[in-house]
Amino acid sequence: MKIVFATNNPHKVAEVNEVLGDAFQIILCKRLVVKKIFLKPSPHWKEMLCKKRYVKENYGTDCFAEDTGLEIEALNGEPGVITARYAGPSRDPYSNINLVLNKLHNKENRNAQFRTVIALILNGEEYLFEGIVKGTIALEKRGTGGFGYDPIFVPEGYDQTFAELSSEIKNEISHRARATKLLIEFLKDFI
Ligand code: ITT
């Protein structure tokens, strides 16, 4: 089955591809202009996920999109829906990480979770799939793998950050892997 993934993020594509396996072939919308409609901060996951509608309307094709956020307990769920732009519009991962580390300085509670919401539009219907991984925020950056906030996120059950763990382990237990597995289960009925 061929399916369009509405994203500009090559890391997401690599991770989702690894979980999807051979039964699905991901087609990318190259240089999506979707970003233009995302400049305004939006308070809700569902509003963030209008990527898929945009693709459907402009490219005329069914597709899925995903948004991921980091939710930190001691920061009342921040950065949440503004995870990508937490330290400003440049979306710089190092500035985002430094801001989180500064805000958590001296905080004992370092509990956090990644949440991925995948939104699918198929035959005119819309479906949502959610994946969560719980963990803690490390005291400092560690590791070179992964992307985004991975160098400071330690998933439950491990001592290493996502950036220190192998991609195989991340793609087994991550928020994105969990949401993608639910998507696969659902899509199996359409193959
Ligand atoms: P799209 O084109 O799919 O929107 P994006 O990179 O803009 O790609 P998001 O809007 O979902 O994606 O941004 C999510 C933010 O969370 C962004 O700063 C990422 O670096 C970070 N992020 C997403 N998934 C992550 C993961 O698995 N590990 C660490 N950080 C992640």
**Ligand 1 binding pocket includes 113 (Cβ within 6 Å):** no
Domain boundaries, the chain: 2-190
Q: CA 157, CA 146: separation in Å to the nearest integer?
A: 18
Q: What is Dmax (Cα atoms) for the chain?
A: 52
The residue written with tokens 């939710």 in the block is 71
Pocket mutation for ligand 1, best pick of 38, 68, 150, 170 (most atoms within 8 Å of C-beta):
68
Which atom, in ligand 1's list, is nearest to the CA of 153? 29
In the residue annotation, 150 being an active-site residue is answered as no
**Ligand 1 binding pocket includes 62 (Cβ within 6 Å):** no
| Structure tokens belonging to residue 6 | 């509405």
CATH of 2-190, one of 2.60.40.1930, 3.30.450.40, 3.30.930.10, 3.90.950.10: 3.90.950.10
- 153-155: strand order across its sheet: 25-28, 2-5, 63-72, 111-122, 125-137, 153-155
> Quick one: how far is CA 185 from the chain centroid?
19
Length of the chain: 191
Residue 176 C-alpha to ligand 1 middle, in angstroms? 10
Q: CA 44, CA 33: separation in Å to the nearest integer?
A: 21
Instruction: Kindly report the number of other CB atoms within 10 A of residue 53's CB atom.
Output: 16
| Structure tokens belonging to residue 72 | 């930190």
Per-residue pLDDT of the chain (191 residues; tens, 9 = 90+): 777 887 878 888 889 888 887 777 777 665 554 443 343 445 566 656 666 666 667 667 778 888 899 999 999 999 988 898 899 989 999 999 999 999 999 999 999 999 998 888 888 888 889 999 999 999 999 999 999 999 999 999 999 999 999 999 999 999 999 999 999 888 887 76
Instruction: Kindly report the number of other CB atoms within 10 A of residue 146's CB atom.
Output: 20
